[in-house]
Amino acid sequence: MTSLALEICGITKAFGNNVAVDGVGFSLQQGEIHALLGENGAGKSTLMNLIYGLYQPDSGEIRIDGKPVVMDSPNTAIARGIGMVHQHFMLVPSLSVAENIALSSGRGKFRFRRKDAEQHVFELSARYGLSIPPRAKVWQLSVGLQQRVEILKALSAAARILILDEPTAALSSPEIAELFDILRRLRDDGHSIIFISHKLKEVMALSDRITVLRRGRNVVTTRVDETSPADLARQMVGHELPLIERPPQVAGDVRLEICSLTVVGHHDQVAVDGCSFDARAGEIVGIAGVDGNGQIELVEAIVGLRKAERGSIRFNKAEITNLPPSKSRQLGYGYIPEDRQTAGLILNFTIAENLILNVHRLKRYQKGFQLDRKRIDADADALIRDYDVRTTNRGALAKSLSGGNQQKVVIARELSQAPELLLAVNPTRGLDIGATDYVHQRLLEQRRHGHAVLLISTELDEVLGLSDRIFVMYQGKLTEATPFREDLSKIGLLMAGGESVNR
Ligand SMILES: Nc1ncnc2c1ncn2[C@@H]1O[C@H](COP(=O)(O)OP(=O)(O)O)[C@@H](O)[C@H]1O
Ligand SMILES: [Mg+2]
């Protein structure tokens, strides 16, 4: 016997002429974990903000216990037993956990009784296995614990329905496992949970039912045991994903050659320890490994951001070791850096400006002593179209784009120069399935066009699927793993350092 906690009936919400949520309906049962799955921009957060009273719908209805409710503010939503854990926490860092909870629940309105507040936090925390120290200052807590304080805040306000918007985005994998345990405990206690994610594995592991949103519409609601990751992926992106196809191809000239390279990282420890490898025309060379094993220092040395202590780096046979970054970038290789928000883009510049960041010295855009605006704009429009950057116009600021679309801008800029060598560091980190597939296809296209790609990624599937030759990096050393491509346990062992490493 299940009862409905919440019903969403034909809700629509537009921003200008962008219909973010388009006639969505689904129901949340009491005591279920219901995942809302969809790509970036599918309308998930907007839908939750409607339920939480932060936005008003243009049409449609929200019902609680069968009765229509107008969610005119978060206070109304909270009074109706709805709690929200936002992507960005809303805590006061300098206050203790108990103080934050008291503040939010209005318990402190008249007189703040520290002992009572701390006892209250202690009891709630113990009941759901949250393990939060009531007296700790919020700034002292890890991201995972701060998130639990947000959950506690909602529970303290007597929430029966909990909304978590991409709660795993900032968590490590042990923290994710702990969060899932907490959510299951809450469910078993009769709470209803809306869990938002674009990660299939998580959704399959945690949810009872799943609703897929695509471009503002709900595509399907299904029980987890009646679907599969492949079905969900298709429903999310709206078509079959092409398989990674890497037809055999003969590698040509050496584009990048690294010889006995040693690089020192932060804290003066050796980060890259005598590495040698090359990348040739028409091949993708993949470097797998857990974060922090020298991958970043390796790339920084190649692009001139970090000094090479020993060894040499050659690009198209020319020595480029310890060339300053400004000179190095003029050599014409492409670079997709790990952190697109700080290294790849200038967020307060427009999309058009970002698209010419490294090529602005090119003759093409010079008109006398000035930049040729018309030409920059025309090229920007073409790139936005070709690379499917979802934006209203080229004059929008880079920071207004979703993560996936920011990445497309970086890729469009770097690939539009048809570089003979592309350095790509975690190029799909944080992207949804559709955008990830898009990036993969572009890397393969580089290969097809006879260019070299150095792919450094912590996603093992990505490295295995795309690379012609595979290396594993562990504590600054490289081991070639191409022969073990089919042997995941062997590669896993190399990544964990459980195998003697020969250079
Ligand atoms: N406050 C807003 N103003 C204008 N457009 C918005 C606003 N919030 C979201 N959108 C747009 O609505 C669509 C859905 O966004 P969102 O709900 O954030 O998606 P998701 O959470 O699934 O990634 C996107 O096209 C986004 O640009
Ligand atoms: Mg969102």
DSSP per residue, 123-139: HHHHHTT----TTSBGG
Residue among 11, 15, 213 to mutate when testing ligand 1 (max atoms within 8 A of CB): 15
Q: Determine whether domain 4-237 maps to CATH 3.40.50.970.
A: no
- Quick one: which ligand is closest to 49's CA? 1
Which residue has 């002992």 as its token pair? 115
From first to last of its 503 residues, the chain has per-residue pLDDT tens of: 468 899 999 999 999 888 999 999 999 999 999 999 988 788 999 999 999 999 999 999 999 988 999 999 999 999 999 999 987 778 999 999 999 998 887 654 556 678 888 999 999 999 998 989 999 999 999 888 999 999 999 999 999 999 999 898 777 778 888 999 999 999 999 999 999 988 888 899 999 999 999 989 998 999 999 999 888 888 887 776 666 778 888 899 999 999 999 999 988 899 999 999 999 999 999 999 888 899 999 999 999 999 999 999 999 999 999 999 888 878 889 999 887 776 789 999 999 999 988 776 677 788 888 888 898 899 999 999 888 888 888 999 999 888 888 988 998 898 888 899 999 999 988 777 878 888 899 999 999 999 999 999 988 888 999 999 999 999 999 999 998 888 777 887 788 776 544 43
Atom 1, ligand 1: which residue's CA is nearest? 15
Atom 26, ligand 1: which residue's CA is nearest? 41
Cβ contacts of 483 within 8 Å, gap of 6 or more = none
Residue 376 near residue 311, CB atoms below 8 Å: no
Asked whether 236 lines ligand 1 (CB < 6 A), one says no
Determine the distance separating the centroid of ligand 1 and the alpha carbon of 299, expressed in angstroms: 35
68, containing H or E segment = strand 67-69
Determine the distance separating the centroid of ligand 2 and the alpha carbon of 48, expressed in angstroms: 9
Going from the C-alpha of 332 to that of each of 146, 304, 362, 418, the distances in angstroms are: 44, 14, 11, 9
Domain ranges in the chain with CATH number 3.40.50.300:
4-237, 241-333+419-503
The amino acid occupying position 397 is L
pTM: 0.66
Atom 11, ligand 1: which residue's CA is nearest? 20
Provide the residue count of the chain. 503
Of ligand 1's atoms, which has the minimum distance to the CA of residue 165?
21
Q: What is the architecture, at CATH level 2, of domain 241-333+419-503?
A: 3-Layer(aba) Sandwich (3.40)
Determine the distance separating the centroid of ligand 2 and the alpha carbon of 503, expressed in angstroms: 45
Distance CA 499, CA 446 (A): 33
Distance CA 65, CA 80 (A): 10
Asked whether 139 lines ligand 1 (CB < 6 A), one says no
Asked whether 161 lines ligand 1 (CB < 6 A), one says no
Determine the distance separating the centroid of ligand 2 and the alpha carbon of 138, expressed in angstroms: 24
The DSSP string of 238-260 is SSPPPP---------SEEEEEEE
Determine the distance separating the centroid of ligand 1 and the alpha carbon of 46, expressed in angstroms: 6
pLDDT at 187: 97
Residue 438 near residue 415, CB atoms below 8 Å: no
Asked whether 38 lines ligand 1 (CB < 6 A), one says yes
Determine the distance separating the centroid of ligand 1 and the alpha carbon of 41, expressed in angstroms: 6
Asked whether 18 lines ligand 1 (CB < 6 A), one says yes
Residue among 11, 13, 17, 18 to mutate when testing ligand 1 (max atoms within 8 A of CB): 18
Determine the distance separating the centroid of ligand 1 and the alpha carbon of 24, expressed in angstroms: 15
